[in-house]
Amino acid sequence: MCGIAGILGALDETNRAALRSLSAAIEHRGPDSAGSWESKPDDRGHGCMLAHRRLSIIDLSTASDQPMSDPDERHTIVFNGEIYNFTELRAQLEHSGESFESAGDTEVMLRLLVRKGIDACPELRGMFALGLWNDDARQLTLVRDPHGIKPLYVCRNPDPNGNWSLVFASELRAIMA
């Protein structure tokens, strides 16, 4: 099942505690491992924090743990779901010169999104929700499968001067936590 969560805002202890609360609230979605990550801060000390709760299904090794970054550490992803055609996509990427550390679908999706951006989404067959941070653009992209099978809840802060601007998670109760 897996669970994902994230915060855009100040990279401070208040938001780190909030991310830990988000992650704890979705622990039941992924008992096999948990991970968190934060971007480099901008000049105001703001950035992106991501959390993942993993239910290991395809690749049982730690190579598929999340949040997962590309080799250049310019893009980081949290992903909940399954990409049914990931072996075909992997073969295409390998033919283009990519090599992989894991045997799972997350790394394939990450590499595809890094190469093609959001235009790669129609190539993904499956059920999924994801958050992808682009460190160069300082941009978070949130995506759900076309049928909305995997949940993704988003909350925007109505206070433009608040400590955070956006929170997302696989469950509403995580955001409420």
Cβ atoms of 131 and 51 within 8 Å: the answer is no
Give the separation between CA 101 and CA 147, rounded to whole angstroms. Answer: 30
DSSP of 92-123: HHHHTT---S-SSHHHHHHHHHHHHGGGGGGG
Query: Which one from 2, 48, 121, 155 is the annotated catalytic residue?
Result: 2
Pair 171, 151: CB distance under 8 Å = yes
The position carrying tokens 């090794």 is 61
What φ, ψ does residue 116 adopt, rounded to 5°?
-115, -10
What beta strand segments (E) does the chain contain?
Answer: 3-10, 33-38, 46-54, 68-69, 75-83, 126-134, 139-144, 153-156, 164-169
* Known catalytic residue at 2: yes
Give the active site residues: 2
